[in-house]
Amino acid sequence: SRILGMRLGMAAGLLSDPATRSLNISEIGYICGFVSNAHFSRVFRNRFDCTPRQYRRLSRDGHDPLADDSQDS
């Protein structure tokens, strides 16, 4: 659904934003409207092919978690 996509996009933005590093992943899920951590993690993984924790780690390490690996040189 469109609303779910917007919530997941907001979560991805918060996970990759250095200003929100002090928030834990369950807090980010809650801010974005997910009451259940398990549901948040499941739908996030279905959308982005990685868990919220993996997404945060990749963005922190300077990688674009949404980049397609096949386009790398």
∠ CA 63-68-69, rounded to 5°: 75
pLDDT in tens, 40-59: 999 999 999 999 999 999 99
Distance CA 53, CA 24 (A): 9
Q: pLDDT per position in the chain (73 positions), as tens?
A: 899 999 999 999 999 999 999 999 999 999 999 999 999 999 999 999 999 999 999 998 777 777 755 444 3
Distance CA 71, CA 73 (A): 6
Q: Of 41, 36, 59, 38, which is closest to residue 51 (Cα–Cα)?
A: 41
Q: Of 46, 63, 59, which is closest to residue 19 (Cα–Cα)?
A: 59
